Structure 1
Amino acid sequence: MAETVPRKGLDPQGYIAREGSLARVPHAFRPVVAVARDRLLDVFGARLHSAYLYGSIPRGTARVGRSDLDLLVALREEPTEADREAARALGDALDKEFAEIDGVGTLLYGRARLLSEPETYDLGWFVACLCTPLLGDDLAEYLPRYRPDSLLARETNGDLALLLPRWRERIASADGSEESLRPLVRFMSRHLVRTGFTLVMPRWNGWTSDLTEMAEAFGAYYPERAGQMRTAAVRGHEPRGDREVLVSYVDDLGPWLAEEYARVHGIKAPRPDGP
């Protein structure tokens, strides 16, 4: 059994420290961040409550031409389908305009949901700990501080069993091309690595968003599955469109991880609109 790693990713009081900052944005990505900021204001105007960066760009680890731009947008009301389409169009435009990024992902929510009690240890934690303020009133001011405990583990990733049927549908509907399978490999690899990490997070006693570190932390407690998780971490960074990999995720690693997660931490509380 590996020794507990003290205070990694934590503040002196043992709470998860907010990762990322605008100061850490690499120079190459600052123009796209500036344009994204201005265009979010143009698109949503007074309906925009706040906007955030998350992922490798505000952590300072993004790779030019390989990393995507990740945004979270909080509106004053619940977003409409027109809002979602506008966000997609904005992302597509930025992706075409800036060769420095490889895609744009935008999460869009209403302020009330992000601050709601059911989301306190899921979306609320995500905003408070993993998102870097870009525009507006920072919602983290209205949220608690978080420890890497079993409650946080359950409410962030305790729904894998519910997600696996949807993943199977997505795999079945893909046309088998590299173009259609590669994003699925990337997404599912990252999701499984993060779920594996949060499974052991309370024992590891810390936080990291680095996929390699996540896989190593997991492997210290589950050596029999360590190789699979390390490989998934590599695929999260360098995905190949391989259907066999996806099938192994939904038929082997995913079901095992979902069962072990439920045994250790329980199942995520249901949400009104599902997982």
Structure 2
Amino acid sequence: MPEPPVPHGLDARGFIEREGSLARVPHAFRPVVAAARDRLLDAFGTRLHSAYLYGSIPRGTARVGRSDLDLLVALLDEPADDDREAVRALGEALDKEFPQIDGVGTLLYSRARLLSDPETYDLGWFVACLCTPLLGDDLAEYLPRYRPDSLLARETNGDLALLLPRWRERIASTGDSEKARRPLVRFMSRHLVRTGFTLVMPRWNGWTSDLREMAEVFGAYYPERAAELRRAAEYGYEPVGAPDVLRSYVDDLGPWLAAEYARVHGVKAPRPD
């Protein structure tokens, strides 16, 4: 069995260190981030509690013309359909205006949802460890510290079996469009690699957001599936529009990973919605 990479990503007490900072935003992406900040304030005004960056841009690893802008927005009240339309329109405008990004993804929740007990080890962990504060009061101040344990693994990615039917519907909706399949390959590849990594995360006892390293860590514990996750990691960075890739995800790798996850960590606790 190959040796996994040396664990890292934890502080001296064994808690996951928060990744990313505004200081790490590459120079080419700073105008995009500034525009996003200003437009979020214009869109939500006093209803905005806080906003965050996540992904490659605040980690300093974004690639010009290849990386997307990832945002999380917390409102003081529950988002409505008009709010979701507002962030969709904001993302489309930023994507058209700034060629250095390849799309915008915005998560939209209420402050109460992000701080709720059911989300403590899912969305709460995501905000506290993977999000970089951009605007407002940092919700991480109200959340616990997190270790890479089985509880965190279960509550972050223990719902893959529930997602697979929705993925099949999304694949069917693309028809024969290679252009429509490419973002699906990127999204599903990343999700499967992260799920594979968190499956073994408690054994490795570390944290990383690098897809290739995630795949290497996973492969050290499941060598029979290592090549599949390495390919998925590459497609997470450089997606293809091949239908057979998507079929393999929902017919083979995804079901196997969901079953193994449930065996090792259990199933994610149901959410109110």
- The equivalent residue for 1:188 is 188
Name the counterpart of 2:46.
46
CA distance in 2, matches of 1:167, 1:211: 20
Q: Distance in 2 between matches of 1:142 and 1:3?
A: 37
Q: Do the aligned partners of 1:193 and 1:229 also contact (CA within 8 Å) in 2? A: yes
Report the TM-score when normalising by structure 2.
0.98
Question: Match of 2:122?
Answer: 122
Aligned to 1:131: 131
Instruction: Give the distance between the partners of 2:198 and 2:117, measured in 1 at CA.
Output: 21
Matching of residues 1-275 of structure 1 within 5 Å: 1=1, 8-273=8-273
Q: CA deviation at 1:2?
A: 5.5
Q: Secondary structure at the match of 2:72?
A: strand
> TM-score if structure 1 supplies the norm length?
0.98
Q: Secondary structure at the match of 1:253?
A: helix
Alpha-carbon contact 1:5-1:205 (below 8 Å) kept: no
Deviation track 1:207-240 (CA, whole Å, cap 9, x = no partner) reads 0000000000000000000000000000010001
Q: How many angstroms apart in 1 are the aligned matches of 2:70 and 2:173?
A: 26
- The question of whether the paired residues in 1 share the 8 Å contact of 2:4 and 2:220 is answered with no
Tell me the CA shift for residue 82 of structure 1: 0.1
AA aligned to 2:111 is R
Output the amino acid matched with 1:118: P
What amino acid is the match of 1:34?
A
The one-character-per-residue Cα deviations of 1:36-91 (angstroms, maximum 9, x if unpaired) are: 10110000000000000000000000000000000000000010000000000000
Shifted more, 148-157 versus 174-183: the winner is 174-183
CA separation of 1:55 and 1:134: change in aligned 2, threshold 3 A: same
Q: Distance in 1 between matches of 2:73 and 2:11?
A: 26
Runs of at least 5 residues in structure 2 that lack an aligned partner in the other structure: none
Separation in 2, partners of 1:78, 1:48 = 11
Deviations 1:67-119 (A, max 9, x none): 00000000000100000000000000000000110000000000000000000
The 3 A distance-change label for structure 1 pair 113 and 248 is same
AA at the equivalent of 2:265 = H
**Counterpart Cα distance in 2 of 1:6 and 1:216:** 11
Q: Provide, for residues 158-188 of structure 1, a one-character-per-residue CA deviation record: whole Å limited to 9, x for no partner.
A: 0000000111111112122111100110000
Question: What SS is found at the alignment partner of 2:50?
Answer: strand
Runs of 4+ in 1 over 4 A off after TM superposition: 1-7
Separation in 2, partners of 1:150, 1:200 = 9
Q: What displacement does 1:121 show?
A: 0.1
2:189–2:232 CA contact under 8 A, matched in 1:
yes
Q: Which runs of 5+ in 1 are unaligned?
A: none
Amino acid at match of 2:189: S
Give the residue type in structure 1 aligned to 2:213.
E
Contact 1:53 1:70 in 2 (8 A): yes
| Offset, 1:195 | 0.1
Moved more, 149-158 or 2-11: 2-11
Shift, 1:254, TM fit = 0.3
Aligned length: 273
Q: CA RMSD in A?
A: 1.0
